[in-house]
Structure 1
Amino acid sequence: MDLQNFCLDRITRQALFPLAPSLPTQRLSETRLETRRDSPGSNRGLRLDPEPRSEEERNVKRHRCGPIGPPPLRFLLPPLRFIRFRFCSGPVLLLLLGLCVFLQTRTRFLSGPQEEEEEVLLEALQTRVSPRTGVRSRLTALVLTGLHPPSDPELQQVLRVLKELRFTVTSRAYAETSNTLRTGVTGWSLVMCLSTSERSCLRRMSFTHLTANQKVNLLPAVMEAFSDAGGGLCVFYARSHLSGTQFPMRPEACGSTNQKPPLPADSPSPAGAPPPALVAMVNVYVLVTSVKPLTSFLHDLSVVTTNQEQRGRPTQIAHFLQHTLGPHSSHDALRQIKRVIGEVLLAAVSTNQEQTSSRCVLCFQLLTFTLLFSGSITPVVIQVDTDLTFSALSEEAFEGPISRDRILEDTLHFLHLSYAETQYGGCTGTHGACLSEDEFLLLLQFQRQMETPSAFQLVYPSSSSSSSSSSSSSSSSSSSSSSSSSSSSSSSLLVLSDLLIRISRHYELQRNQSSRIKDTEPTNQNAGGSNGTGVCVDPRLRQLYLSPPLALTPPFSPSVREYRAEVTFDLLTVRVRPEPMSSACRAHLDQHLGPSMAVFPLALGDSSIIILVTGGEEPVVMATYSVQVTRDSRPSLPMFGDHVTCSFLQDCGLVVHPGLPCGLQPFIRTLSPPLICSSGHHPGVWVVPCLTCSDNRTCDWREVTWQPDGCYHPQVSPPLLQACLTDRKVLFIGDSTNRGMMYFLLERVNSSLQVWGRSHDLQVYEYLNQDRTLVSYSYYPRFWEDKDQRPTFRQSLLQLIHRSRPLVNSEQTVLVVGGVQWLKVDHLRTVREVLDRESLSDALVVVKSLGMGFHLPVDGIRSLSLRQIQDLYRQNQDIITAAKHRGYEAVDTFSITMGRFRDFLQGRCACHFHQVEKSSGPSDPIAASRTTPELQSDGQHPEKEAWPRASTYHVRGPVNQVYSEILLSRLCPRNT
């Protein structure tokens, strides 16, 4: 035998020494590694084959090669059988030679024999890999979509992640429609079978003919074990002889998810007795990466439902347990969760009746386990689904896809799908145990997964497992076979299981040591890391979740910052949740300290959603994304021929007054000629021409008008309005809805609107109507200020009066008071007291009553229930009655807006029915200057500001126009 080969043989044996099980010491010198090529039909892989050496080899060993490594390494290694294998390339032998030198120099620093063995095992495992040289193999993925449409979020997430992993992706509906999935066809690397396509995958695909590097997201043995044998009974449970009292799973755990039992009620504890430790239903998500031997992992995301919550919420399982049980008991509970899941999986795969060895080495399966805690830290499995399910979530339609996306993305990254293909050695002969190429590939994948930080925790095998128990699933299923091949396979699984346990033990020791080091660090350093803070080096969004899903233009991409979307009239809100690419970055909505998830109202026309990506301890905006959403107006059908007139007061989507009809009703006109309405609160309805009152899609909504019962509000012409408001001062106090009426008056009396702004303080508009009219405005209430610093209504009214002086005690002084929903009867009493005190008791007071708003479930502001909105209707009637009693005019804006609550314009409160937009202005600067008002701000030294002459503005909003016209008709009655 060649001397160099023999010495390399000895070095290789020294490096791989811990890889094999025990052998009697007297046979240790009789084992050697062979490097022969496989014979046809033999298993390829790691070979354990003792053979006697020739005398020539013994002499060479004795005189030429010297001792095997330093004494410490020889003493630490147990008497094991050696592994023999064939390498595919010469450089790997040189790597092993370097590995041996490295091991000789570092052995003295190892903490103990067990750790040394596992270190050498992992080093040898990495050296065992021989990547294919040349051009990297193209990674091709086939996604079977089933019933999922192309726009489905689950499908889009799968496609996005696969493209990030540099897969070439194609999609088909079912396996039957794909010519690629034929036996012997090797043109793909990965098949993803989405829900509703699993049956097609299992029926069409041949799992026994896959190559070593082909992967499928299904494990037939797992699918079969957890299928329904009838009445919810699991198939594996029906085949086994498990004891229902000892096994931690209910037999009927494979039925419909609707059969889950309710949570146990909190029973009163005896005096002095502690409450139950844990009462909850928890959905956990398990990834199975191998059946023979069993390997499985637990994702950190869970869905928890307790007695205090009707529906579940997504949370990290470790955080939930620690919050509920405390640090010590939470660790015990997590260990119990893993033990129970591992025990159920082990029992499930042990009953697999399929004896043929599957070639799907790297196939995987995601499962949902529903665990029930009934006062103990040891749960019982009450449901197992062979897919990801999120029906327990309170916001399933929104949180479900987000949770699914996260688990799916973590899974695809965790499986290292983008690794290039590798080649491995083989073994020959019939003596001893042999690790096949498939088993070694599984071992390598397991090691990669254990060393990579991820959201998964190992469930099985655990570091406390033994090789005999971890391989029981295979040995029990093959115990009935007495053939030599079955015996060899069982022995091989024992070796592989032992190696998996060694690897898991090694990384668990590493994590424990790392955890101890972190515990000794100063707490101020821990605080930053625990919150996931760091340097935001990639300030992009990974994904933008919208509910309901919107068709963005262009489609979402992390590198694109601006998007547009169009929605229909009926869509009133959208929930937005941006996810940053890096955990060191934060995504906020609207402002740099805004929420990370929010519901936005969608006004008629354009609405902007701004997303800020920030980084740093003091948030700094590093990137800005925007979504411009255009909501269409109510669809209209033009009237060309015969039509009917329909009326409505309230929408059936929001019944404010249960005693009145909702929706379109036939409108009956009175025969007598209408009269001018005597008040601004005269009851009325909206009327619209339609083909039929039974379908609002047949109406011409461009012609909708407000019709008071038996009367009408005359429109005040601009000349009449200008004459009416000459030498008058109009004071407005209220919120933005009151301000909308003021801007309408400014535009009408001045023929154009030259100034506008979302003023939240006191403003005085002078020199209106050719210097003959003054309008002032005070914003109330100042809700953004602290309660102890807010001015009261009395203080705000007095300030407005003082800034508007000189005032006369007649109807030449007009006070318009009101807003959305803050006005109470007590405010009218305050108005009377202040006017009497200021000698303005004869001033004309117009009360703008309440209005619709805050009826949508929008984040960041209060949201009213239906009962609260119905209470507003009664409160509105009380305000109108009080105004009439005091001799005030009243405009019933609540009745006008409650049937048009969908027609709101920009504003988070959904209470604005006006919007100021730019329009072309007069070209003559002299003419413009004559009609341009001067504005005085609320400073100690008011200054007159010259406003732009070239631009004018227009107040848009048909609903605001209706009640603003009523206001003008009450200010300027036709009989004057």
Structure 2
Amino acid sequence: MDLQNFCLDRITRQALFPLAPSLPTQRLSETRLETRRDSPGSNRGLRLDPEPRSEEERNVKRHRCGPIGPPPLRFLLPPLRFIRFRFCSGPVLLLLLGLCVFLQTRTRFLSGPQEEEEEVLLEALQTRVSPQTRVSPQTRVSPRTGVRSRLTALVLTGLHPPSDPELQQVLRVLKELRFTVTSRAYAETSNTLRTGVTGWSLVMCLSTSERSCLRRMSFTHLTANQKVNLLPAVMEAFSDAGGGLCVFYARSHLSGTQFPMRPEACGSTNQKPPLPADSPSPAGAPPPALVAMVNVYVLVTSVKPLTSFLHDLSVVTTNQEQRGRPTQIAHFLQHTLGPHSSHDALRQIKRVIGEVLLAAVSTNQEQTSSRCVLCFQLLTFTLLFSGSITPVVIQVDTDLTFSALSEEAFEGPISRDRILEDTLHFLHLSYAETQYGGCTGTHGACLSEDEFLLLLQFQRQMETPSAFQLVYPSSSSSSSSSSSSSSSSSSSSSSSSSSSSSSSLLVLSDLLIRISRHYELQRNQSSRIKDTEPTNQNAGGSNGTGVCVDPRLRQLYLSPPLALTPPFSPSVREYRAEVTFDLLTVRVRPEPMSSACRAHLDQHLGPSMAVFPLALGDSSIIILVTGGEEPVVMATYSVQVTRDSRPSLPMFGDHVTCSFLQDCGLVVHPGLPCGLQPFIRTLSPPLICSSGHHPGVWVVPCLTCSDNRTCDWREVTWQPDGCYHPQVSPPLLQACLTDRKVLFIGDSTNRGMMYFLLERVNSSLQVWGRSHDLQVYEYLNQDRTLVSYSYYPRFWEDKDQRPTFRQSLLQLIHRSRPLVNSEQTVLVVGGVQWLKVDHLRTVREVLDRESLSDALVVVKSLGMGFHLPVDGIRSLSLRQIQDLYRQNQDIITAAKHRGYEAVDTFSITMGRFRDFLQGRCACHFHQVEKSSGPSDPIAASRTTPELQSDGQHPEKEAWPRASTYHVRGPVNQVYSEILLSRLCPRNT
């Protein structure tokens, strides 16, 4: 029996009778890799040849055909690196590889009669295999082990600064893959890229360095294991030949009416056509046709033969959403078209992309022998759906583009990072390099080392769970069509060279198709069980199912990017960052390591992405990683952000005094100047202001009023026009407030004024809390003063359960009794933006009813706040803020009309809106912080008030003496001092 008949007989018996006794198979752990280099001119190939362990195996080995068994493809094909290789002719290897697909398909996914399936496969294999001659004994060589060394990556940054998110993501992922990473600006500045230098494994050319890479790098001299993220053939095919016309389109003879791509698809990304209008569907009609513009992201891993993959992330733009949003392409199609039609649409997307890529690479003049074997390229395809599930390609970019996103500055880097990270992991860049030899004494087709590397890479990618789906070759492809591109481009070569190249590509394409069919059958089987769209992606999805077993963050996205200390790592839970005064907000989006976990901000049911205000000083951002149907916190991350104060330049010599009322970054009153203006002092001595709402400006010493960076902002003060508010000393304040009761009703900004009064009258603040109910502070000022406070409005309660302003005021008066009908009773009412003129009318009605018409009423007017686009709370537009200015004037006018005092806090805060302290509303200009307590506990007890909380059985609670507190905030201090000056005028 000759060799071919012997092997086919063994194959057929194993396929038809898989349970029958067979030759002993070699253990995987005992196989090894043997390689050799042959003499120049010899063909190079690979051969499976396990060490014989029995007489029967030795007999087979003499015929150069090892024992054939039906192990699964994942044990026979790759890891091919674990199986020993010797060198024989290509037919045996091709026979083994094709047989693996056949046996796996037959034993697990039979779709037709067994005999017919076997006959077709065997016939196909025999037509591809040439008779093999005996190999001479001198072809046996000693094994050469694979080289596993520290891999080196070179990143060409171009114009990207070191802090650029794209660059940082590339560096992070490469380091995770255990690469030694170096970076240079351009290829011309790197001596490593000289021809013949082999000291690197991977070159990553970022978007602004691509031209430099193409000019400097010699792709024809790369070794088999060197990789570059550029494919010159693809870059050239999709370059602009003029007017947006693609180069490959200009070279080919494609029909514009049949080819699924517009000829001018390689022009500027800003020249995309508008979406067609949606046509209304009559009642009872089927769902409307698909009308959308979709950006999809394609990874090309080989040109000859063509292999490409589609990432599951896409950017979709519809007529209902004029700006794009990131979404999974399969989810969008299923939501729009339904399960069945969405599968057809996804197949059409792959078909169209594959057809365009195949046409593009068919015009390439690059010779197969000089290709970059493991290079790759990421592309952006813009598809237009105009009522059909078959799209048209209207734009192709040779990079990742996200200009269609509604929030490109934030969502763009996140989407880019995800695709880039998925790509680098998908390409198996960290696999060890392996050296191979050649084969001698053989005739016919022989699988070369480059072809074997392509085949091995493709098989690894197909079996790896990822976010990528195969585009080309598809299971419906034929080897003749996938290799047709080479036949046209190689016509200029000699006939023998052309024939050899075409034959080799034909064999390799056939194997790629067979492998893809095998995995498609596996996925089809899995999809029937799971009732999902077949795809090789199961780890890249985000369906949130499963158990959260790895409660870590994969990445923490911040916009603008912050320099975290230490740099982000999934295993580090606490970070710090410092920002400048001008940075007011930061957007935070944590990404969990596993899709089964969820990341929330602030609380376990909080948002997964939010904008946080950055107060002066310290702000904390808490990130909770949760898991389970009922979320359980499994990990906590924190970021402490310190925002610097406004930079100050100390004044040591001559300077000028400048003034400002409003910031040019937020012009509240268009009729008034903004920014620094020269301040002109009046020559007459200033008088004491007659009211708390006297107009004024902020004044600050500067070297010049044209540059706010030359000012000493530590000396900024509020200056009323032509008068001043005298500061009330503690002794005078204590005497003034003796036997008086001060009632506060309002929100937290009103509470800040109350805290300032408590600290000033009591010499220290020894208790505080964010009270959201009614509090009574007794025994202040050596038991001579009472202060009470009621929080209004209770925004956290349902509207139908919230107490009205009248009810809250009556409750406050009742809890503060006994009260006298004179200025010994003081009512301070106001807040940030809830106060209306009607509330002042209610105050008058309630005081008259409670026989307190002679009580002193001080109205705290409105204040700046809610001016930042922060998630979770309302955000005011510029027009709404300007309306607040007019509303504030109406409140002050109504207060004057009723004989009430008024403190104009809106005019004071609108020029200092950047100086807010902790709080989501950006409306707090006070902060209570801990300070050292008094050393004498007896002295402390003499000024220690007691606190009563509103409840069914209120009890007096002694304030803790261990700690004291201080009310910080210069803006709050200004209008609190004005309040004290109105409570205790100088003439009393």
Fold match (TM-score > 0.5): yes
Q: Is the 8 A contact 2:52 2:61 kept in 1?
A: no
User: What is the DSSP-based 3-state SS (H/G/I as helix, E as strand, rest coil) of the residue aligned with 2:538?
Assistant: helix
Equivalent-residue separation in structure 2 for 1:195 and 1:164 (angstroms)? 22
The offset of 1:287, in angstroms, is: 0.1
What's the CA shift for 1:117?
7.7
Q: Cα distance, 1:209 vs. partner?
A: 1.9
Deviation at 1:250, TM superposition (A): 1.5
Alignment deviations for residues 630-656 of structure 1 (CA, whole Å, 9 cap, x no partner): 111111111222222111111000011
| Secondary structure of residue in 2 paired with 1:663 | coil
RMSD of Structure 2 on Structure 1 (CA) = 6.5
**Offset, 1:883:** 1.3
Aligned-residue offset at 1:479:
3.7
- 1:97 and 1:469, CA in 2 relative to 1: closer, same or farther beyond 3 A? closer
901-910 or 499-508, which deviates more: 499-508
The 1:837–1:105 alpha-carbon spacing in structure 2 relative to 1, beyond 3 Å, is closer
Quote the offset at 1:20 in angstroms.
25
Greater shift in the superposed pair: 345-354 or 473-482: 473-482
The more displaced of 552-561 and 295-304 is 552-561
Q: CA deviation at 1:399?
A: 1.1
Q: Deviations over 1:795-822 (max 9, x none)?
A: 1111111111111111111111111111
Q: Which sits farther off after the overlay, 575-584 or 424-433?
A: 424-433
Alpha carbons of structure 1 residues 156 and 307: separation in structure 2 relative to 1, 3 Å: same
Shift of 1:278: 2.0
CA displacement at 1:57 relative to structure 2 = 16
CA distance in 2, matches of 1:318, 1:444: 28
Distance 2:13 2:81 in 1: 10
Displacement of 1:534? 2.6
Q: 1:82: how far off? A: 23
Does the CA-based 8 Å contact 2:88-2:442 persist in structure 1?
no
Change (3 A) 1:14 1:773: same
The CA distance in 1 between the partners of 2:632 and 2:871, in whole Å, is 23
Q: 1:763 aligns with which of 775, 796, 811?
A: 775
For residues 835 and 532 of structure 1, the distance between their equivalents in structure 2, rounded to whole angstroms, comes to 58
Bigger mean CA offset, 251-260 vs 570-579: 251-260
- Distance in 1, matches of 2:386 and 2:20, equals 44
- Give the Å deviation of 1:308: 2.3
Give 1:409's aligned residue: 421
Map Cα deviations across residues 734-771 of structure 1 (whole Å, 9 max, x no partner): 11000000000001111111111111111100000110
Distance 1:15 1:275, change over 3 A: closer
CA change 1:137–1:699 in 2 (3 A) is closer
Output one character per residue of 1:246-266: Cα deviation in whole Å (capped at 9) or x when no partner: 211121111221222222344
Structure 1 residue 336 displacement after superposition: 1.5
Measured after TM superposition, the shift of residue 318 of structure 1 is 1.1
Greater CA drift, 430-439 or 225-234: 430-439
Q: Which moves more between the two structures, 416-425 or 568-577?
A: 416-425
Residue in 1 that maps onto 2:170:
158
* Deviation (angstroms), 1:235: 0.8
Q: Is the 8 A contact 2:109 2:522 kept in 1?
A: no
The structure-2 alpha-carbon separation of the partners of 1:349 and 1:128, relative to structure 1 and needing over 3 Å to count, comes to farther
Distance 1:163 1:897 in 2: 48
- CA pair 481-33 structure 1, distance change in 2 beyond 3 A: farther
Query: What is the TM-score with the length of structure 2 in the denominator?
Result: 0.88
Q: Report the CA distance between 1:118 and its aligned residue.
A: 10
Superposed displacement of residue 551, structure 1: 1.2
Whether the 8 Å CA contact 1:284–1:298 is kept in 2: the answer is: yes
Question: Do the aligned partners of 1:359 and 1:438 also contact (CA within 8 Å) in 2?
Answer: no
CA gap of 1:109–1:403, structure 2 versus 1, over 3 A, is: closer
| Contact 1:148–1:155 (Cα < 8 Å) also in 2 | yes
Q: In the alignment, does 2:331 pair up with 1:342?
A: no
Q: Deviations over 1:758-802 (max 9, x none)?
A: 111111000001100000001111111111221111111111111
Distance, in Å, in 2 between the alignment partners of 1:331 and 1:778 is: 61
State how far apart, in whole Å, the 2-side matches of 1:900 and 1:594 are. Answer: 30
User: In 1, distance between residues paired with 2:910 and 2:30?
Assistant: 94
Q: Give the corresponding residue for 2:975.
A: 963
Cα distance in 2 between the residues matched to 1:381 and 1:760: 59
Q: Distance in 2 between matches of 1:19 and 1:544?
A: 53
Partner of 2:79: 79
Change (3 A) 1:40 1:723: same
Q: CA deviation at 1:547?
A: 0.9
Cα distance change on mapping 1:20 and 1:639 into 2, 3 Å: farther
Question: Displacement, 1:179?
Answer: 2.3
Shift in alpha-carbon separation, 1:349–1:524, aligned structure 2, 3 A: closer
Partner deviation per Cα, 1:472-519 (whole Å, 9 max, x = no partner)? 222222245451121111122122212211211221121121111123
Question: Which moves more between the two structures, 757-766 or 130-139?
Answer: 130-139
Deviations 1:596-653 (A, max 9, x none): 1111111111111111222222222222221111111111111222222111111000
When structure 1 is superposed on structure 2, of 71-80 and 722-731 the one drifting more is 71-80
Question: Can you list the C-alpha shifts for 1:34-53, whole angstroms capped at 9, x where unaligned?
Answer: 99985522332269999999
SS where residue 174 of structure 2 aligns? helix
* Cα displacement (A) at 1:26: 32
Q: Which moved more, 1:880-889 or 1:303-312?
A: 303-312
Asked whether the equivalents of residues 211 and 359 of structure 1 are also in contact (C-alpha less than 8 Å), the reply is no
C-alpha change, 1:712 and 1:79, in structure 2 (3 Å) is closer
CA shift digits 1:886-940 (9 cap, x unpaired):
2211111111100100000011110000011111222111110110110001111
The Cα shift of 1:392 comes to 1.5
Q: Within 2, Cα distance between the matches of 1:773 and 1:706?
A: 29
Q: What CA deviation, in whole Å up to 9, does each residue of 1:822-877 have, x standing for no partner?
A: 11111112111211221111111111111000000111111111111111111111
The structure-2 alpha-carbon separation of the partners of 1:268 and 1:289, relative to structure 1 and needing over 3 Å to count, comes to same
Superposed displacement of residue 325, structure 1: 1.9
Preserved contact between residue 237 and residue 364 of structure 2 (Cα < 8 Å)? yes
Q: Which secondary structure does the structure 1 equivalent of 2:417 belong to?
A: helix
Q: Matched residues in 2 for 1:684 and 1:85: separation?
A: 89
1:473–1:100 CA distance, 2 compared to 1 (3 A):
closer
- Cα 1:153–1:964 change in 2 (3 A) is same
Q: Which residue of 2 aligns with 1:52?
A: 52
Query: What's the CA shift string for 1:547-573, capped at 9, x where partnerless?
Result: 111111122222222211111110101
Moved more, 621-630 or 262-271: 262-271
1:449-472: CA deviation from partner (whole Å, max 9, x where unpaired): 111111011111111112222222
> C-alpha deviations, 1:324-379, integer Å up to 9, x for none?
22222222221121111111111100001223523421110000111122222222
Q: Secondary structure at the match of 1:954?
A: strand
Specify the SS of the correspondent of 1:639.
coil
SS in 2 for 1:874: helix
Closer/same/farther in 2, CA of residues 596 and 643 from structure 1, 3 Å limit: same
| Alpha-carbon distance between aligned partners in 2 of 1:803 and 1:6, rounded to the nearest angstrom | 104
How far apart, CA to CA, are the structure 2 residues paired with 1:975 and 1:656?
36
Residues 179 and 383 of structure 1: is their aligned pair in 2 closer, same or farther, counting only changes over 3 Å?
same
The DSSP-based 3-state class of the residue aligned with 1:868 is: helix
Of 699-708 and 422-431, the range deviating more from structure 2: 422-431
Distance 1:394 1:202, change over 3 A: same
CA-CA distance at 1:537 after TM superposition: 2.4
Distance change in 2, residues 1:239/1:118 (3 Å) = farther
Q: Are residues 149 and 98 of structure 1, via their aligned partners in 2, closer, same or farther at CA, if it must alter by over 3 Å?
A: closer
User: After the TM superposition, which of the residue ranges 843-852 and 273-282 deviates more from structure 2?
Assistant: 273-282
Deviation at 1:107, TM superposition (A): 5.2
2:467–2:541 CA contact under 8 A, matched in 1: no
- 1:58 CA displacement: 17
**In structure 2, do the counterparts of structure 1 residues 665 and 832 end up closer, same or farther at CA, with 3 Å as the change threshold?**
same
Pick closer, same or farther for the CA change 1:189–1:35 going to 2, 3 Å: closer
Give the gaps of 5 or more residues in structure 2.
Answer: 126-137
Q: When the two structures are superposed, what TM-score results if normalisation uses the length of structure 1?
A: 0.89
